[in-house]
Structure 1
Amino acid sequence: MVGRVVATVAALAFVAGCSEGGAAPTPSPTSSGTTGAASVGQVKLTVASTVVSGVQVPWGLAFLPDKSALVAERDSGKVKRVVDGKATEVGTVEGVDASSEGGLLGLAVDPKAAYVYAYFSTSSDNRIARLSYQDGRLSGQTTILEGIPQAAIHNGGRLRFGPDGFLYVGTGDGGDRPNSQNDDSLGGKVLRITTEGKAAPGNPGNRLWITKGHRNVQGLAFDGSQLYAAEFGQNTWDELNAITPGSNYGWPAAEGIEGLDGMVDPIAQWKTSEASPSGVAFAKGHIFMASLRGERLWAIPVAGGKRVGEPQAFFEGEYGRLRTVEVAPDGSLWVTTSNTDGRGESREGDDRILRVTIG
C-alpha cells in the first residue's frame, strides 16, 4: 500500500522511538492512506524488482566505480559484492562485535582511490577502518579512527563522502546522554574527517566533529553542499535535520521541535510508530528516508536546507523494516530490508535489496 501523510502546519510529524524498536505506537491524528499513485505534483515510487535476496542484516551499501555495489552484513561482519542478482563475499571486517544495534554498519567507497571505509562496533568502542579493494577482494584493514562511544544501542554508523572529498560520519550517544553535549566526546555528533582520520580543514574549533547534540544519527545525505541527517528520537519525535557546521541540535534538552535558544530544530519530525529512521538519500528534490519500525519509505521535498512540501509515505508494511536507501548509478533507489535483525518478522527471501524507480 502506498501511504500518504497529510500533516497540519503545526504537526508536520511522524517519529521513531528510543531504539530501533521504539515505544508503544502513538496514532497520528492527521494521517491517511491511499492505495494508488501519489497525487499530482508529488513523486511516485515503484518497486521495479528485487536486486538480490538472502542477505543477512544488510546495513551499509555503497556503489563501486563499475556500478556494482558492496553491502555490509551487520552481524557476520562480512562484505558482499552485489552484481547480476548475486551477492558474493569479498572480505570480512576484523574485530566486529555485533549487538542489538551494533556490528558492521556503514560503508563508503573512496571516490579518488581503491579504498573502502567501514564503520563498525568492537567490544569497547565504535571505529572506522580503511580497507584496500583490489581484484574483487578487501585487504589491508587499517583503523583510522577509534574511540567513538559504543553500547548495545545508539551506535550511529553511517558514512558518506561529501562533495568536498572529506568523510562525514553519523554517531550516537552510546546510551550515555551527556556524550552528545560533551565537546570531548565523539558520541552524538556529525564528524567531518580526512581519509586519515584527522579533523578536516575548516572544522569549528579544529575538532573532528562539526555538529553536536544528536541522539543517534543513522542517515546522511547531500544535496550539493547541503547535508541532511536522520536521527532517532527517544519516545516522542524522530528527526530530519539540515546540518550547519558549528550548530547544536539539542539532545538531550530537546527532542523534536522545541524552539530552545541556541539549539537548531529539525526540519521535519515523525511519531514513533511511523518512522524509526535509518538511511537517507537525496534525489529529484527529495530526501528519501528508510524507516525501521515504521516499515515505510518516506519522501520529503527539500531545497536549500528547508522542507518545501509535505512528506509522502510509500510501501507501508509491504516489505517490513527498511534500513538503507542509496541512489544507484542508473538513478533508481536501492532499498534494503532489515527483517533478520532480531526485531522484525523475517519473510521468505529476507533480507533483500529492492530496486525502486522514481516517477
Structure 2
Amino acid sequence: MRRKLALVSTLILGVGTIAVTQAAEAHSQARPDVLLAPDLADPEVVATGLTVPWGLGFLPDGSALVAERNSARILQLRPGSAPAVVATVSGVAAAGEAGLLGLAVSPTYAEDGFVYVYFTSASDNRIARLRLDAPQDQEVILSGLAKANIHDGGRIAFGPDGMLYAGVGDAGTTASAQNQQSLNGKILRMRPDGGVPAEGNPFPGSLVYSLGHRNVQGLAWDAQGRLYASEFGQNTWDEVNQIVSGANYGWPTVEGRSSDTRFRNPIVVWTTAEASPSGATIDDGTLYVAALRGQRLWSVPLDGNGGAGTPTALLQGQYGRLRTAERAPDGSLWITTSNRDGRGSPAATDDRVIRFPAQSTVAGG
C-alpha cells in the first residue's frame, strides 16, 4: 500500500523543488484514499550528454547530485536547468567497471555539508567524504578494498539508523565473498566517519554486515527499516536479497536459490539476460530496480514481511541500459541510463537522467 501523501503542486521552475499548496493539503485530508506514485507515462529529461552517471543523491533544497564514473565529476541537477559541475573527485582511476561510483548525501548535510563517494583509486576501492565548497579537502574514511576492472560494487547509502552501508564486489576473486576477514564480496555497515558501529554489526570489530555476495549495486530500505539489495549473478541468476545482519548469501557456492541451509535464499531471481540489476529504491511497498543488460525497470511488490510478489517489467527497451533508480524527496522517481559504459548502444542524447513525477491515484481504484 502506497504512502498517504498530499497532492503536490507544479514544479517551481529553476529551483527543482515541489511545493505543497494549502488546497492540496486540505484535499488530501478530505480524501485519505488519494495516494501518490511515479507517473512513468510523463517523463522529464533532466540531463543529457553525460558519460555513465552512476551515484545519485538529493540535497536538502531538492536538487540532485550525480557522479560520473569515468570523468570523476559531480554534477548538480535541477529540472529545467543545465547541469552544473560542482566538484571533481581527485584520485579516481577509471577503467572497465571501476571509477567514481556511489554517492550519498549526509543525512545531516545541513549541519556538516558532507557528500560521500565510493571510488576506485590507482591502488584500491575506497570511500571518502568531501564538501562541495572545498572538494580538494577530501577525507578518506575507508580504503584498502580490493579493486578490479569488474565487480567493484560501489553503491553506498545511509540507512534509517544513520549508518553508512556499502556494497563491495568480490573484485573477481570469488573466494573473498566467503572469507569473513576480507571486506570484498560483502555489505559493510559503518559509522559516518568509517569506524565500526558500537552495536548492530554481527562480527566484533568488523565492518562486515553480510557476506557471500558477488557484486551488490543496489541498497534500499522499506518503511519497517528492512534492507534489500540487488545483486549481479554470474551466468544464470540475478538476485534481490532481504539483508539480515550476519547472514551468508552463498556466493560463490550458490548462485540463485538452493536448499543449502548455510545460506539465505534471495526473495527474487531473474535470468541475467532480463536483469543485471544495479540501483534500487523503494517507494513505500514497491521496490524499483534498474536493469542494465535487461534494459528495463523492474517493479517488485514487497509483502511487508521481508518477501516479495511477482515482479513487473517497466520501461522495457525505452531508454536502454538503466544504472540507477532513486526516489526523490518530492515523491518523483529518477533514473540514470548507462549506455556509454562500453556495453550499450548510446543514443545521441545519452547518457541521460530522467525524472518521473508523482501522480495521484486512488487506493483500490
Q: Report the TM-score range of the alignment, normalised by the length of the smaller protein.
A: 0.7 to 0.9
Paired residues of 1:55 and 1:87 also in contact (CA < 8 A): no
Query: Is 1:140 aligned to 2:143, yes or no?
Result: no
The residue aligned with 1:62 is: 57
* Unmatched 5+ stretches in structure 2: 1-36, 360-365
Contact in 1 for aligned 2:49/2:350 (Cα 8 Å): yes
Q: Indicate the structure whose relative CO is greater, using CA pairs within 8 Å and at least 6 residues apart.
A: 1
> 1:30-41 residue pairs with structure 2 within 5 A?
none
Supply the distance in 1 between the matched residues of 2:336 and 2:309 (Cα, whole angstroms).
26
The question of 1:76 aligning with 2:58 is answered: no
Could you tell me which amino acid in structure 2 is paired with residue 90 of structure 1?
A: V
Q: Give the partner amino acid of 2:191.
A: T
Per-residue CA deviation, residues 116-160 of structure 1 (Å, 9 max, x unaligned), is 0000011221000010134xx634101110011110000000010
Q: Deviations over 1:76-97 (max 9, x none)?
A: 1111111233211111111111
Equivalent residues in 2 for 1:103-118 (5 A)? Answer: 103-112=99-108, 113-118=112-117
Residue type of the partner of 2:203? G
Comparing 202-211 and 287-296, the one that deviates more: 202-211
Asked if the contact 1:242/1:305 (under 8 Å) is kept, the reply is: no
Q: State whether residues 119 and 159 of structure 1, in contact with CA within 8 Å, keep that contact through their aligned partners in structure 2.
A: yes
Q: State the secondary structure of the residue aligned to 2:83.
A: strand
2:193 matches 1:204: no
1:358 offset after TM fit, Å?
A: 5.4
More strand by share: 1
Aligned amino acid, residue 143 of structure 2: E
Distance 1:140 1:284 in 2: 37
Letter in 2 for 1:157: G
Q: Name stretches of at least 5 consecutive residues in structure 1 with no aligned partner.
A: 1-41
Does the 8 Å CA contact 2:226/2:306 hold for their aligned counterparts? no
Q: Distance in 2 between matches of 1:265 and 1:246?
A: 14
* 1:161 aligned residue: 158
Deviation at 1:304, TM superposition (A): 3.6
- How far does residue 305 in structure 1 lie from its aligned partner after superposition? 4.9
Displacement of 1:184 after TM fit?
A: 1.0
Partners of 1:188 and 1:58 in 2: CA distance: 23
Match of 1:7 in 2: none
Change (3 A) 1:285 1:217: same
User: Which residue in 1 is equivalent to 2:45?
Assistant: 50
Partners of 2:355 and 2:188 lie apart in 1 by 30
Secondary structure class of the residue paired with 2:203 = helix
**2: CA distance between counterparts of 1:358 and 1:309?**
23
Q: Does 1:339 align with 2:339?
A: yes
User: Taking structure 2 as the reference length, what is the TM-score of the superposition?
Assistant: 0.84
Q: 2-side partners of 1:175 and 1:251: how far apart?
A: 12
- Measured in 2, the distance between the counterparts of 1:200 and 1:303 equals 30
Residue 90 of structure 1, aligned match among 86, 89, 109: 86
Distance 1:266 1:121 in 2: 28
In the alignment, residue 45 of structure 1 is paired with which amino acid? Answer: L
Tell me the alpha carbon deviations over residues 312-334 of structure 1, each in whole angstroms, 9 at most, x when there is no partner: 10111111000000001220100
Distance 1:241 1:68, change over 3 A: same
Q: In the TM superposition, what is the alpha-carbon distance from 1:43 to its structure 2 partner?
A: 8.5
Matched-pair contact (CA < 8 Å) for 1:226–1:304? no
Shift in CA distance, 304/199, structure 1 to aligned 2, threshold 3 Å:
farther
Of the structure 1 ranges 203-212 and 305-314, higher mean CA displacement relative to structure 2 is found in 305-314
Letter paired with 2:251: W
| TM superposition outliers: structure 1 runs of 4+ over 6 Å | none
1:14 alignment partner in structure 2: none
Paired residue for 2:222?
223
Matched, 1:269 2:269: yes
Q: Are the equivalent residues in 2 in contact too, given 1:180–1:187 (CA < 8 A)?
A: yes
Cα separation, 2, equivalents of 1:91 and 1:145:
20
Pair 1:315 & 2:315 matched: yes
2:285·2:304 contact (CA, 8 Å) conserved in 1? no
